[in-house]
Amino acid sequence: MTDTPVAIAAYTAVSALGDGCAAHTTALRTGQRGLRRNDYAPAGVPLPCWIGRAAGIEDDPAPSLDTRLHRLLARALRQDGLSDALARAVRDRGAARVALVLGTSTANIESSERAYRRLEHGHLPADLRDPRLHHLHGPAEWLCAQTGIAGPALTLSTACSASAKAFGLAARLLTGGIADAVLVAGADSLCASTLYGFNALELVDSLPCRPFDQARAGLSIGEAAALALLCRVEHAPQAPRLLACGESSDAHHLSAPHPEGAGAAHALHAALRACGLRAADFDYLNLHGTGSRQNDAVEAAMVARLLPGIRASASKGATGHTLGAAGALEAVLTLLALHHGIVPGSVGCHAPEPAIAAQLVVDPQPQPLRRALSFSFGFGGSNACLALARAEP
């Protein structure tokens, strides 16, 4: 059984690389690194590491319910005509026929952290009691109120695969006839929970992260909001396409990958099966590539075995690991690579892991591309593989 492709009518992102498609395209062309020394320290002294921080977010409040995550989302809505395209969909299709699938790992937990730093007699301070600040679906409720979306609103939270899987669920809402347009959003902001949590797991590099480099020593946390407006192909025949979203479970460990990458391989095969194509039909692969010693080693071996010869690169050395936003952010980067004919480089990698050295692209190369894959793997052994295609000329 093959999946029906769906159109990606509009897309954009806000990350450490800047605001919108133009900034991200320039970064892809030049191999720009968006990481900076950690200066995000809401709880005192900053951890000695590097982060991917979206510039200027501090001075750009979000309407209605101001949180760091909502600032990222509000800014993303203003890029590349996204909110206009969404408003057109709401007007032409009806608000109840436009759905939202948000992928996030931590939602507005930065606000819960602020509240816990100044509890009043063991209770949330009066100004931080809005429930949307404290539960995972809060940002989706806020986003619906901001955009007029009145169709199904779903929050998917499977750690670092969340917003890749959101594309799969959005496609099923479209092909199942439940919605005529779906906004896919991936968003996670910097927060203490993930910085100190990954630090406790000893998974944070003290230097800027170096995915697939032999000397890599962990990840750098980043923040992003990435948006994509999906519809059925007949409503946007000129747009790039989501061909399939393959998904699987590792069934191995909550925080370590399967040693042979079995779960990731299942996700890849599910994606290929769903679009009825072979690995050789793809000419670029966006790797998950966090910079963690173990994860990158497993991914390198799996890719060399199952996708030999396909040029591959990792973008987290440029953006940081944006966790629940990573799947959507990397889908946007991959769509830009397809559109502009750029094979992106692997920022931060200087001496590639031998297993993948033959196919790992270190410096960006101009090259026409037709189809690409993007991997996202998360804690809990949650894997996703997106298959994307360039707009037909």
Partner 1 sequence: MNTHLQARVVGLGLCAPGLPDRDAFATWLRDNGRALPPEREAQPIAARMAPAERRRAPRSIRLALEAATQALGARDPARVGMVYCSAYGDMSNTDIILDTLAQAPTAVSPTRFTHSVHNAAPGYWSMAAGSHAPTSALACGREGFGSALLTALLEMHARALPQLLVCCDAADAGALADAAPCPLDFAGALLLAPVAESSCMALLRARVLPGAAMPTPPRDMRLHPWWSGNPAAAALPLIEACLAARAQDFTWPLGSGTLLALDCEPVR
**Which residues carry out catalysis?**
160, 288, 321
Please state the closest distance from residue 375 (CB atom) to partner 1, in A.
15
196 part of the interface to partner 1, by CB under 8 A: yes
386 part of the interface to partner 1, by CB under 8 A: no
Percent helix / strand / coil, the chain, rounded to 5: 40, 25, 40
**Which range binds partner 1 by CB under 8 A, 93-101, 293-301, 304-312, 367-375?**
93-101
Please state the closest distance from residue 153 (CB atom) to partner 1, in A.
4
Closer residue to partner 1 in complex, CB, 99/209: 99
Residues whose CB falls within 8 Å of the CB of residue 78, separated by 6 or more in sequence, listed in order:
none
Please state the closest distance from residue 231 (CB atom) to partner 1, in A.
14
Longest dimension (CA), the chain: 63
Please state the closest distance from residue 282 (CB atom) to partner 1, in A.
21
Place of tokens 């902001």: 189
* Distance (Å, whole) CA 85 – CA 239: 13
Contacts of partner 1 in 238-267 (CB under 8 A) = 247-255, 262-263, 266
Query: Position 66: which residue type?
Result: D
129 part of the interface to partner 1, by CB under 8 A: yes
| For helices 82-93 and 138-147, angle between their N-to-C axes, nearest 10 degrees | 70
Please state the closest distance from residue 144 (CB atom) to partner 1, in A.
6
Closer residue to partner 1 in complex, CB, 312/326: 326
**Binding test (CB under 8 A) with partner 1, winner from 378, 388, 389, 390:** 378
CB 97 within 8 A of CB 104: no
Contacts of partner 1 in 95-114 (CB under 8 A) = 95-96, 99-100, 105, 107, 109, 112-113
| For helices 162-175 and 326-340, angle between their N-to-C axes, nearest 10 degrees | 70
29 part of the interface to partner 1, by CB under 8 A: no
93 part of the interface to partner 1, by CB under 8 A: no
Please, which residues bridge with residue 284 across strands?
Answer: 372
Candidates 12, 41, 37; CA nearest to 332 is 12
176 part of the interface to partner 1, by CB under 8 A: yes
* Distance (Å, whole) CA 98 – CA 86: 9
Residue count, binding to partner 1 (CB under 8 A) = 81
Please state the closest distance from residue 83 (CB atom) to partner 1, in A.
18
**Binding test (CB under 8 A) with partner 1, winner from 65, 87, 154, 301:** 154
* Distance (Å, whole) CA 165 – CA 171: 10
Residues whose CB falls within 8 Å of the CB of residue 177, separated by 6 or more in sequence, listed in order:
none
Contacts of partner 1 in 260-299 (CB under 8 A) = 262-263, 266, 270
**Which range binds partner 1 by CB under 8 A, 40-48, 66-74, 209-217, 366-374?**
40-48
CB 287 within 8 A of CB 337: no
